[in-house]
Structure 1
């Protein structure tokens, strides 16, 4: 409920502090006293766009502060948590506007955006008769109002979860298909690249080994010349081999002398002979034909060219081709896996879709059941507001699954007719004026009795009515106020007499300046104010007596 309202420097209001109570509060006052200003202040709290002309003359800053009491499970709690606003049982909402064209929205010392303020205060207060795009006249609210009346939260939650599951799977399908589309564009290149690398079959350190062999073969002529020269030195007459044999023969002739140095010399020369034999074998082993070397060199160069061409293609080293091949293989496997994934996800989506259809259908059936109950209750209320020929119906349009939302498969519109001869039209399309106001009141009496979590303010709901009709309106407003906080700005003495609390908006002059203030009236002051409303500025005893009777009959 709205507990207090502080206003500073708004038009005729210099400083104002109003304490509001439970029940039905009526606000009265002469035309021009400032009742509309008060509604403008509440409009700022609701997040309406700022009219900087509201700032009082000769002032730079104006502000409106509202204090609301809330309970633990109030619907606004979830919205506050969404915007990280700390709360307990009290909300302090402040709207500040500056002559320089800037404004601020603050809740419990947290600065928020205007859109956030609108979302929060839509759960706290509604002004009926103004801001019609945000109240019952907004057809977008009708479904949520019906759900609140039906109180089938489990069905709503089950349907919501099924919808979210379906949408999440669809999102995964779209992502997987986007990958598949890109994969299809790349698939031929990936497969061709992989096949080429499989055929090429690169080995680790192969380039290094090939380079070494290439260098060796490129110097084959020089090597053959050197080997021939060495072979000649070893094998020719009086060459190394012949000279060593002669040395061995000379030393062996002295073997029987058994001289230690001679024996050591024999061992050394025999070892040298063995080394020369090994050298001879090595040299002979390097006697490869030049043509055979040329053939091998061409093969090596071709292999190096193939390896390096692939490395340039993939912008990597030759050794990295092995890793690239494995990655290409994994990518091709991923494409296959992704295609299988899409098939599996589509099956999951079909299952999730069936579940959503089932649960949203159950929710729709429940809505239609409670729509019948709600319609009957509202239509029963209409005659008591002197709308005997008016009626309400709730229209259901089924939404296709493709166009469904988190709210299910229903589009709900409240239709109304204020005359039995008129066609049923959306509430926001029926004629404005007293009939519309009473029609909305009837709906509010029924709906808010079930929901009762917001303060509702009616702006001159008595417009164009009087007598018994005004008395009926006042009675129904009092019925609203019995369950929760309601307010009405009124010129009707009959409506005024039904209020539990009475606030007088009045305009005073001081030092040639005009000020608006609000007074909560006592019982005697209520009689005087209602008498004024009945007889005008010249209050008669008869008017006072009539006022007393109205109050006595409330």
Structure 2
């Protein structure tokens, strides 16, 4: 429930802290005292549109904080968990700060949040109704949800939603598969041609780099061979390096014993040099023999290289991807051949999912029809005490065309009314007057009180345009509703005001040229005086006080 509302620098309110209790809390006051400002402030904390005009004149900013006490199992906590906002036991604070330029910031438990999240949170905590409310009873979009709440059909509705999503998911896959198969079939001849072409080409991994290296080597073959011949000549001229090294070694080996080991390292080094020189000459001769100067071989390499690069350009891929490209085209070709089978499987799945959806949706529809009878009976039972005995409330369920089926089911649901005996039912927004609409809405809320998870209801002059016994009946219904949820009602009706468990009075005062609205809880004597004022007007009479006592004692 709403525990406290703290307002700072909003319109005529300077600084105000209001404590609320459970039950029925009535707010009264002279016209223009600031009751609408109070509701605007609450709406601001619940995510309503911010406006620079809400900030008190001369103040840089205004703020509103709404503190709630909620049971641990209230569904609102799921919203908080989904938003990764820390929970502070069972206390919750929604806060909104509005700058003088109209920009605003939103907070939940002092953590910055988006205004949309604040609005989502507010909608789960407080429901505000006015005489010409368009977001509740008058809006057919809400009727299905209210019916499901009354019948406790949430689980069945969730199953229907899941079944619809499963069906549409497979349907989408089937449509995409059909389009892909159609396109693949159109490209089938081209795919076969490409696969055959790439099969004949038979590109290999790393082939381009290897061919390019061979081509480069052959293009410079004569220069390479000439250089190697010159190197071989330098190694072989005269006696040759190898012979010279062997001769030097023989001379040193003859005198090595007389050198007392000083020539050992020299001999070892020259021996290795002789060995390496021999190996080098052999490798040089082998390399010379490997030089390919055959122009036909060079031509073949170039043709192969150009063929690979031409295929790569044709398919707009690097040469290195040609082997994988062939595999991909073969897979597409295989998909064409296997497409019919896969498509048949998807079509079978679609039929299965559609059947499952229809089954659960029809079950939900049947339960909704059964629930509608109970709801109609309960609401019509409430109409008599609200002086709408000649009126009728009815819930209509109309089968939708398949194209209009959706995740909520196969039925269009609407609340309709008739305000005169024998008259046909019609849309609430078109049939009911403002006063009748508010009482229809009140009757519905009384019936839904135990099922609806919203803990706080606010009624803004729901009794406007009625009086006497009808106003007393409205007060009685509000009191009954307050046994289940917290109810705040802004009223000018003494019959409704007398029915409250708590009474707050809004007043306006002027000091030093500044007008300020305040609100405070009334004592029993003050409450009698306020009810008397509501009865007689500005000048409270003895008779009005007596009538006020009668109203208060009748509760």
Contact 2:131–2:464 at 8 Å: present in 1 too? no
SS in 1 for 2:528: helix
- Going from structure 1 to structure 2, the CA distance change for 1:434 and 1:305 (only over 3 Å counts) comes to closer
Match of residue 225 from structure 2: none
Asked if 1:39 corresponds to 2:42, the answer is no
Q: Provide the TM-score with structure 2 as the length reference.
A: 0.79
Contact 1:505–1:518 at 8 Å: present in 2 too? yes
Q: Provide the TM-score with structure 1 as the length reference.
A: 0.79
Contact 1:95–1:105 at 8 Å: present in 2 too? yes
Distance 1:85 1:352 in 2: 37
- Going from structure 1 to structure 2, the CA distance change for 1:462 and 1:204 (only over 3 Å counts) comes to closer
**Cα offset for 1:42?**
1.8
SS in 2 for 1:57: coil
Superposed counterparts of 1:224-303, under 5 Å: none
Match of residue 26 from structure 2: 26
Contact 2:106–2:115 at 8 Å: present in 1 too? yes
Match of residue 291 from structure 2: none
Contact 1:143–1:412 at 8 Å: present in 2 too? yes
SS in 2 for 1:504: strand
**Cα offset for 1:419?**
2.2
Match of residue 334 from structure 2: 333
**Cα offset for 1:316?**
6.3
Unmatched 5+ stretches in structure 2? 222-293
**Cα offset for 1:393?**
0.7
Contact 2:131–2:438 at 8 Å: present in 1 too? no
- Going from structure 1 to structure 2, the CA distance change for 1:197 and 1:17 (only over 3 Å counts) comes to same
Distance 2:512 2:419 in 1: 51
Match of residue 449 from structure 1: 450
| Stretch of structure 1 that moved more, 12-21 or 409-418 | 409-418
**Cα offset for 1:335?**
4.2
SS in 2 for 1:85: coil
Task: Give the length in aligned residue pairs.
Answer: 484
Contact 2:151–2:371 at 8 Å: present in 1 too? yes
**Cα offset for 1:508?**
1.8
Bigger-Rg structure (1/2): 1
Contact 2:21–2:502 at 8 Å: present in 1 too? yes
- Going from structure 1 to structure 2, the CA distance change for 1:203 and 1:148 (only over 3 Å counts) comes to closer
Contact 1:55–1:62 at 8 Å: present in 2 too? yes
1:375-415: per-residue Cα shift (whole Å, max 9, x none)? 01001110111111111111112233443222122221111
Match of residue 510 from structure 2: 509
Match of residue 7 from structure 1: 7
Match of residue 242 from structure 1: none
SS in 2 for 1:515: strand
Match of residue 488 from structure 1: 489
1:196-219: per-residue Cα shift (whole Å, max 9, x none)? 223445677888799989x99xx9
1:339-383: per-residue Cα shift (whole Å, max 9, x none)? 533321221111011000000100010011000100010011101
Match of residue 384 from structure 2: 383
| Stretch of structure 1 that moved more, 529-538 or 468-477 | 529-538
Match of residue 348 from structure 1: 349
Match of residue 142 from structure 1: 143
SS in 2 for 1:106: strand
Match of residue 420 from structure 2: 419
Contact 1:395–1:414 at 8 Å: present in 2 too? yes
Contact 2:25–2:501 at 8 Å: present in 1 too? yes
- Going from structure 1 to structure 2, the CA distance change for 1:428 and 1:75 (only over 3 Å counts) comes to farther
1:181-205: per-residue Cα shift (whole Å, max 9, x none)? 5544544332211012234456778
SS in 2 for 1:381: helix
Distance 1:298 1:60 in 2: 86
Distance 2:22 2:494 in 1: 21
